[in-house]
Each structure stands twice: as structure tokens, then as C-alpha cells.
């Protein structure tokens, strides 16, 4: 199975548990971590202070309002980012096809934070998040999980282990278990936004090791 940054290549990679990252020279590497980081949708840890921010609507929340700005801001967070220009272009194409999505948080009319990822069936693959105002990205994650639960999604993949995500309830599962849950999830008829019925333009090729 050939993996590349075309829509077919990206979606087939995700369906087999792999995702791309660019190295410092811009070369694309395909990764499939073991163990895999996920957040169970009913186990997201929301602190009292974060819950209060959500309840008081300190941030306005939108979906797919400015995908391009979100992904580029995620890529501009620091030097040596894995979000290269080629990655931005590839995910922007996926966004236009209805598979890549962003959740934005706004404070006093200014973009304060957000996240983006890929949705296939009942799985959402979180790619990156950023904040310009404290807690803005956490609110985006809370709203992402709420939307996923409301729309019947069953799997939130966060890829790697980080201390930040552990505090929010991230868990690690073996790659074999992840792949089994992934195969069930992507077959579900879920939609991330209204009117976005998914008819994947690719034929899934299953492999035991997608890399």
C-alpha cells in the first residue's frame, strides 16, 4: 500500500492507523505509535474551573470557520514544527472534501485558540491544537468531545502520550486494540457537520503494518 499526501493516500493511511509528520527537512514520515493515545469520550477530565469557563461561555466556539488559520497557527507555534507547507496543503484539501475539520474558540472577537483533525465515520483523529489565551484550546477540546458524543462518534485518537493530554484524561491502549476499534469506528455513518455526508473517495486497504 502506497501512502502519500493525496486525499486517497491520507484517508487510507488513517484507516490503517498511520498518519504523516514532516521532519526538519520537510520529508514526510508515516507513524503508527504503539501504544496509542486516545481519550475515551466519557472520561474527559474537565476541572471545575474549566467547566465554569464553558458554562459561562467565556469563549465563543465555532466549527470550520477558519480552518486555514487554525492549521497554520498550529504550525507556527515553534521552530521545527512537523506541520510543513505540504502538510498544510494536504489537510486543506481534505477540509474542502469534508474530512478535515477545525474547532475554534474566540475571545472578544479574536481567535483565541483551536484544534484541527480528521473525521472518518465515527472516528476523529486529533492532529494539533493551540492557544493564544489561557484555556482556549481546552475549551475547544471540551466542545469537540461534546460534538462527538452528540453525533455518535466512538473514537478520539490523540496519537502520542503527552503530560498535557494525560491531565485531560488521555489513555494508552495497545496498537492492536486501537486498530480493532478503529475498523469498527470508521464504518459508522457519523457526520461532523450538518450536510457533510461522508462517502469516502477511496477503497480501504487493510494491512497489519501500514508503515
Residue of 8, 2, 7, 68 whose CA lies nearest to 30 = 2
User: Which pLDDT does position 194 carry in this prediction?
Assistant: 82
Q: What pLDDT sits at residue 210? A: 45
Cα–Cα distance for residue pair 99/125, rounded to 1 Å: 10
pLDDT of residue 191: 93
pLDDT at 199: 47
Give, for 39, the enclosing helix (H) or strand (E).
Answer: none
DSSP letters, 168-207, are: TT-EEE-HHHHHHHHHHHTTS---SSTT-----SS-----
Angle at 38 between CA 115 and CA 62, to 5 degrees: 25
Write the burial class of residue 110 (CB in 10 Å: 0-12 exposed, 13-18 middle, 19+ buried): exposed
H helix or E strand, kind and range, residue 47: none
Domain at 34-185: CATH architecture: 3-Layer(aba) Sandwich (3.40)
What pLDDT does 82 receive?
87
What per-residue confidence (pLDDT) applies to 94?
A: 95
Q: Using CA atoms of 62, 63, 67, 70 in order, give the dihedral in degrees to the nearest 10.
A: 50
Please give the distance of CA 4 from its chain centroid, rounded to a whole number. 18
In the chain, which stretches have pLDDT less than 70? 1, 77-80, 196-211
Q: Which residues contact 114 (CB under 8 A, 6 or more apart)?
A: 70, 73, 74, 102, 103, 104, 105, 129, 130, 136, 137, 140
Evaluate whether 15 touches 204 at the Cβ level (below 8 Å). yes
CA 8 remoteness from chain centre: 18
Query: What are the boundaries of each domain within the chain?
Result: 34-185
- Mean confidence (pLDDT) of the chain: 90
Q: What is the DSSP letter of 76?
A: T
Amino acid at each position: 500500500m502506497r501512502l502519500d499526501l493525496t486525499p486517497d493516500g491520507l484517508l487510507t493511511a488513517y484507516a490503517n492507523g498511520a498518519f504523516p509528520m514532516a521532519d526538519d527537512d520537510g520529508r514526510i514520515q508515516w507513524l503508527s505509535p504503539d501504544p496509542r493515545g486516545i481519550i475515551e469520550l466519557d472520561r474527559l477530565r474537565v476541572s471545575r474551573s474549566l467547566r465554569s469557563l464553558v458554562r459561562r461561555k467565556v469563549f465563543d466556539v465555532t466549527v470550520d470557520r477558519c480552518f486555514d488559520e487554525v492549521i497554520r497557527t498550529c504550525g507556527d507555534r515553534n521552530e521545527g514544527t512537523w506541520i510543513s507547507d505540504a502538510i498544510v496543503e494536504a489537510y486543506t484539501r481534505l477540509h474542502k472534501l469534508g474530512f478535515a475539520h477545525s474547532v475554534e474558540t474566540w475571545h472578544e472577537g479574536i481567535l483565541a485558540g483551536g484544534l484541527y483533525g480528521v473525521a472518518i465515520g465515527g472516528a476523529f483523529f486529533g492532529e494539533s491544537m493551540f492557544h493564544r489565551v489561557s484555556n482556549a484550546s481546552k475549551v475547544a477540546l471540551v466542545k469537540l468531545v461534546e460534538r462527538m458524543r452528540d453525533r455518535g462518534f466512538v473514537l478520539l485518537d490523540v496519537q502520542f502520550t503527552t503530560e498535557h493530554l494525560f491531565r485531560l484524561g488521555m489513555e494508552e491502549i495497545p496498537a492492536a486494540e486501537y486498530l480493532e476499534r478503529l475498523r469498527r469506528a470508521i464504518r459508522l455513518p457519523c457526520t461532523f457537520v450538518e450536510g457533510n455526508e461522508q462517502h469516502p473517495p477511496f477503497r480501504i486497504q487493510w494491512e497489519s503494518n501500514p508503515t
